[in-house]
Amino acid sequence: MNLEFFKYQGTGNDFVLIDNRNQLFNKNDNKHINKLCDRKFGIGADGLILLEKSNKYDFKMIYYNADGNESSMCGNGGRCIVAFANKLNIIKNKTTFEAIDGLHYAEITDSKISLQMTNVDSVSEVGNDLFLNTGSPHHVTFTENVNKINIKEKGSAIRYGKIYKDKGGANINFVEQINNNTFKVRTYERGVEDETLSCGTGVTAVAIAAFELKKTNSNNISLQTEGGLLEVSFNTNNDRYNAIFLKGPATFVFKGKI
């Protein structure tokens, strides 16, 4: 059986997208999903995303990490599936869709997609670092000269360390402040088990963590990733964050059959 797929990337965070409205794709074959994401033996991607029908909304997003396991929310993947839905003529320039962490609203403006993320009701201190959930769990550590850090080595040490050992792990973000409202971010992603060029839920976590630690007084923050520039805006009220939007490009790369 030939499987048609579409490849998208959002600031270098790349995904295999499949139109599964006909329910022909075997969602329980984790090894097959892992192989499709493999950069040597498959298509190659940080994750695989299925677009499915929704009873009440425009569509449903189901996200798998590159290891083949269904995972929590992916911000860049969310922006890519919005671009994909537009390509399939399911939506025009606005949408509300279902994901594992609830409903998401998004808008397409020119070449950028603005995706509303889940609200953040709590931010926890972990030593000198912070932990928060932006649809996926994130550990945020601020540092100097983020370019010199071995992300895979240090990220995996925290991800598999005693803090998160019994909690399913976390994504680990290393952050360097550039100016008042600009931060450089490098992220170790669980499920990929390596650094990715960009992480949407990660930069969202970083923006809120920076505000929480008073490293910035801005609620519209620029995040430099290895794959490009993203923006995060939010409102805050009584230590809670809402109206959180992740904004950036989502680009169609190619389509094929495998």
Q: Both tokens of residue 189?
A: 């992603």
Mean pLDDT of 106-133: 96
Mean pLDDT of 179-203: 97
Rounded CA-CA distance 82/85 in Å is: 5
Q: Both tokens of residue 146?
A: 């983020």
Per-residue pLDDT at 165 exceeds 90: no
Give catalytic residue positions.
Answer: 74, 199
The pLDDT of residue 256: 97
The pLDDT of residue 168: 85
Domains of the chain: residue spans and CATH: 4-116+250-257 (3.10.310.10), 124-249 (3.10.310.10)
Q: Tell me the pLDDT tens digit for each residue of 17-75.
A: 999 999 999 999 999 999 999 999 999 999 999 999 999 999 999 999 999 999 999 99
Mean pLDDT of 110-116: 94
- Is residue 205 within 8 A of residue 170, CB to CB? The reply is no
In terms of C-beta density within 10 A (0-12 exposed, 13-18 middle, 19 or more buried), how is residue 15 classed?
A: buried
Rg (the chain; Cα; Å):
17
Mean pLDDT of 135-153: 97
Per-residue pLDDT at 1 exceeds 80: no
The pLDDT of residue 238: 83
The pLDDT of residue 111: 85
For the entire predicted model, the pTM comes to 0.96
The pLDDT of residue 246: 98
Q: How far is CA 123 from CA 16, 128, 192, 200, 219, in A?
A: 32, 13, 25, 18, 16
CA 183, 186, 192, 197 torsion-angle sign: positive
The pLDDT of residue 10: 98
Q: Which residues of 58-71 are buried (b: 16+ CB within 10 A; e: fewer)?
A: bbbbbbbbbebebb
